[in-house]
Amino acid sequence: MATPLPGIRACVFDAYGTLFDYASAAAGCRDVLGERLGPLTALWRDKQLQYTWLRALQGRHADFWQVTGDALDFALETLGLDHPPLRARLMDLYLSLDVFPEVPVMLQRLKGAGLKTAILSNGSPKMLDAVVRKAGIAELLDAVLSVELVGVYKPHPKVYQLAVDHLAIPAGAISFQSSNHGTLTPLQPSACASCGATATARGRSACRASRTTRLRRSRSSRRW
């Protein structure tokens, strides 16, 4: 099989919103949330990302499980949803997010093309292990890397260096796929040497563009 991306030896994926549908957590509580399902999903995710950026900038790290809980608390309070059992249920569901349906086949095709594959995520090891096991894609990944290894969130350069070091592949031969635009802006110019990036419309799986077995570079693609 031909290599999908010339010169690329590894595809590294963001997890949430790219491989796994973060909206599926709130969707699992549709019976309680009703018309507030959409607003909760959006606000929870927005605050989750904002809190990681703030913590990265301020050097005040806490793992993604705490950040996810803090963001959920803000969203629930803002929407007037003071319901402890609902909070517990939503957090549990975040450990069993749905994988986007095209992901397993896409990973199989990349592996068949001789590429290494990995996840590089803000998620804590516990969170990533749970969603990867539920999706049944562990054997299709060469590595599952958490920012906890360096103690800082994306887009700090140290995070992207993890992929280079663990895969033992030069930065220029790695393509990073993310549906989250906030992970594509390095904090320092030195981060531009870390890995390649392909961004898609926010909220879509980055692999949806790969239905025909190829991962295309989008107009927003950057080489890091």
Measured distance CA(182)–CA(195) in Å, rounded: 15
Measured distance CA(143)–CA(150) in Å, rounded: 16
Sequence-distant (≥ 6) Cβ neighbours of residue 1 within 8 angstroms: 109, 112, 113, 114, 213
Tokens 């301020």 locate to 58
Active-site residues: which are they? 14
Two structure tokens written together for 3? 């290599």
CA 123, 200, 205 angle in degrees (round to 5)? 55
At 31 the three-state DSSP class reads helix
HSE, CB side, 13 Å, CA atoms: give it for residue 179: 19
Tokens 């950026």 locate to 53
Two structure tokens written together for 79? 């929407």
The residue type at 85: P
